[in-house]
Structure 1
Amino acid sequence: MTDTTGENDKSRKGDKSDGKDKSDRSDRSDRNEKVALTPTTHTAPPAKFSHGVRKGNILQVAGQVGFLPAVEGLPPTPAGPTLREQTLQTLANVRAILEEGGATWDDVLMIRVYLTDVDHFAEMNALYNEYFDQHLTAVPAARTTVYVGLPAGLLIEIDALAVLDD
């Protein structure tokens, strides 16, 4: 039987043969493109990874440490030897990546904190609470804290997962 209605003409604009309008595909693919995020305050990552990645409305921040903002030609420099200095700089570094991707702390669903010493937990928790009392207006993110080894002199690392409104 021959189709005389033109419903099977796949050359028409907006063909929905797969249930999706082809004219909408390019918009959706642009929104869902994976984009690497490296703020100007950060050095290039030391290996094949991105400081942050956004795809659609999801933004993942890789583990950040307390390095001061990058200075051309100089190696990364820790904010200082204390947990306070490194924690506050680490949070600033995570925030810079969130902002680079169009997010804020209010968009963050999950934070993972990596400490090198169990004895640092209480101090880190106090610093964390103080920081978010000033920088958060929404429900706090979920958080996990684990103990790990980090390169010499580094005491804390933090990563975050954010979901933005469409």
Structure 2
Amino acid sequence: MTKVIDTKKAPAAIGPYVQAVDLGSLVITSGQLPVDPVSGEFPQSIADQTRRSLDNVKAIIEEAGLSVSNIVKTTVFMKDLKEFAEMNSVYQDFFNEHKASFPARSCIEVARIPKDAKIEIEVIAVRK
């Protein structure tokens, strides 16, 4: 049975989708923009946007009863891969900070991201 995950600690969906679905053994998030769930704003730098998107993902999977260490796959959508090194540094620090293994990852440059963000991140987490 599919359960919808919804938390106020991450931004609400801005369209006809949910923050995440819990399939029992898997939690799959929608892409998370770097939007602050309280102010509705997002930072300008790729480093700060990366951290905000990862914090939003973390809030959603924690609502499902999981942690960063349960993340097994990420997909990172970036507006400009020239900023990859800066994004990658923040990404690495995030997983190290949570003492989590690095998940499998895809990173794709796209022409445009909603709200003209620089980054959007989605994850798959597994109940172990």
TM-score norm. by structure 2 comes to: 0.91
- Counterpart of 1:10? none
Deviations 1:131-155 (A, max 9, x none): 2111133x32101100112134410
Deviations 1:84-110 (A, max 9, x none): 111111100000001001111111110
- Counterpart of 2:41? 77
Q: Does 1:54 align with 2:22?
A: yes
> SS at 1:114's partner residue?
strand
**Residue segments in structure 1 that go unaligned for 5+ positions in a row:** 1-32
| Larger RCO (alpha carbons 8 Å, 6+ apart) | 2
Max radius of gyration: which structure? Answer: 1
CA distance, structure 1, for counterparts of residue 63 and residue 28 of structure 2 = 12
Q: Does 1:142 align with 2:104?
A: yes
Q: Does 1:128 align with 2:96?
A: no
What amino acid is aligned across from residue 122 of structure 1 in structure 2?
A
> What displacement does 1:35 show?
1.0
CA distance, structure 2, for counterparts of residue 162 and residue 39 of structure 1 = 16
Identity of aligned residues (%): 28
What amino acid is aligned across from residue 46 of structure 1 in structure 2?
I
Write out aligned runs for 1:30-41 (5 A): 33-41=1-9
Runs of 4+ in 1 over 3 A off after TM superposition: none
What's the Cα RMSD here?
A: 1.4
Write out aligned runs for 1:1-166 (5 A): 33-71=1-39, 76-78=40-42, 80-137=43-100, 139-148=101-110, 149-165=112-128
TM-score norm. by structure 1 comes to: 0.72
**Residue segments in structure 2 that go unaligned for 5+ positions in a row:** none
> What displacement does 1:43 show?
4.0
> SS at 1:112's partner residue?
strand
What amino acid is aligned across from residue 133 of structure 1 in structure 2?
N
CA distance, structure 1, for counterparts of residue 97 and residue 10 of structure 2 = 23
Query: Which deviates more from structure 2 when the two are superposed, residues 152-161 or residues 109-118?
Result: 152-161
CA distance, structure 1, for counterparts of residue 94 and residue 11 of structure 2 = 24
